[in-house]
Structure 1
């Protein structure tokens, strides 16, 4: 099958507008339906797929997203590189609302999600460095104010952290907190895709500042206010993505007998 797209963006519904001449593709997967039909269009001369992580009307809470179906659907269309913009809370004084960060580490604190395509046999994913260095570098170079590095802890949600939880995460030296980054990153690696997160800091988490708290309305408003900025960053990054051939994100499974199917 000829690839319909080789790059994908998994993000919020506001990102639809950056695709040129999009067409929708309904994809059936062995894991059920993805969050929405996949839109495929052109960005910076590349064929790009877009999938709204939470559904077209933000109907899916973080713990109810079918992450396996999403990544399998994108791979079935030919996608080999994935950019994943997301809203995050700040845990460190090194970041502030409005910052865009390309994290380099991830901590998984989710507990109800299916985190792997592996259902039988011995297939152990190397995941010491969860994000693709090539894709991350292309994103980091897209604008001079992008911050590079930091650890993103992913919590189950949909509730926000208590102050004690937030203070605990900060005490570990983790700088960002999010609800959707896992198992998305690991599943992309299992699909032999290059994946990088693009984290927009929308708030300081409950325990990071005295008297502060997390308010959903403020988070959504700040994210919407930065959509044009984020789509510009994505367009620039997509235009400078490296050839993924031979990247460790893909090559990790060379010579292994996988017990799941990569489309």
Structure 2
């Protein structure tokens, strides 16, 4: 039985190197997940793949059913999650097409269903979220990039914004003052929900563009630019997954 799941973000709604064995449709107490759970093998190792935004990228970040996704993966016995997510680069070094493994997160989202402990029968529960990403899983990802010669930023703070719009230049200035190195729209509550279920969760962030006001020229962000960088970076992601999964 698979113990590892990959949650795919923008640019990764399919895994080309996944040998598909079956698809599983689950209903959860929190509604439907983003799509069927795809069971298969990468480098001979069993994994489960779930596209966060649905097949064909139809679910915007503020409408992803994060609770259903995490509950479904936990229900089938998943212990480790590698979450691939597109981000905008804020600080120096976070250039487009770069991979990064954040070690901290700041949550700017609002109105999302962000906990499993919110029904009338639940005791008041506080999880330790000092280190939001699994230290051991991050270490293996970092060691693999070093071994395979894949350039990656080994730490950083992820700023999770509400979306679906991109940020203003002033908002990015604020995020940088707060200590954020990258900005994305899906990091929370996904990471916290995984922690509530006791799952080992790490993020592979893919820099798709410079954040607002950080690029060259007039600083405007185009979807064409994002798509080009994601396409280039996802080749690195697939190579990373093929190399790291057997070690897990």
TM-score scaled by length of structure 1: 0.87
User: For the residues of structure 2 that align with 1:183 and 1:47, how far apart are their CA atoms?
Assistant: 26
Are 2:234 and 1:223 aligned? no
Match of 1:191 among 193, 197, 209: 197
Segment of structure 1 superposing worse, 231-240 or 159-168: 231-240
Q: Which of 119, 123, 139 does residue 121 from structure 1 map onto? A: 123
Query: Per the alignment, in what secondary structure is the counterpart of residue 226 of structure 1?
Result: helix
Partner of 2:14: 15
Question: How far apart are the structure 1 equivalents of 2:79 and 2:86?
Answer: 23
1:106 is paired with a residue of what secondary structure?
strand
What SS does structure 2 have at the residue aligned with 1:82?
strand
Distance (whole Å) between structure 2 residues aligned to residue 106 and residue 224 of structure 1: 25
1 CA distance for matches of 2:72 and 2:29?
Answer: 9
Give the 3 Å change call, closer, same or farther, for CA 22–227 of structure 1 in structure 2: farther
CA distance in structure 1 between the partners assigned to 2:227 and 2:72 by the alignment: 27
Give the match for residue 211 of structure 2: 205
Length, aligned pairs only: 238
Q: Secondary structure at the match of 1:59?
A: coil
Counterparts of 1:18 and 1:180, CA distance in 2: 24
Structure 1 residue aligned with 2:165: 159
Unaligned runs of 5+ in 2: none
8 A contact 2:6–2:49 mirrored in 1: yes
Q: 1:21 to 1:209 in 2, by over 3 A?
A: closer
CA distance in 2, matches of 1:77, 1:218: 38
Task: Give the corresponding residue for 1:239.
Answer: 246
Alignment of 1:4-153 (within 5 A): 4-12=1-9, 13-119=12-118, 120-144=122-146, 145-153=151-159
1:200 CA drift (Å): 0.9
Q: Which moved more, 1:8-17 or 1:21-30?
A: 8-17
Q: Tell which deviates more after alignment, 171-180 or 66-75.
A: 171-180
Establish whether residue 169 from structure 1 lines up as the match of residue 168 from structure 2. no
Contact 2:109 2:161 in 1 (8 A): yes
SS of the equivalent of 1:142 reads helix
- Between the aligned partners of 1:140 and 1:165, the Cα distance in structure 2 is 30
User: In 2, distance between residues paired with 1:11 and 1:58?
Assistant: 10
> RMSD over aligned Cα, in angstroms?
1.4
* Shift, 1:139, TM fit: 0.9
Alignment deviations for residues 51-107 of structure 1 (CA, whole Å, 9 cap, x no partner): 000000111000000000000111111100000111110110132112111010000
SS at match of 1:16: coil
Unpaired segments of 5 or more residues in structure 1?
242-263
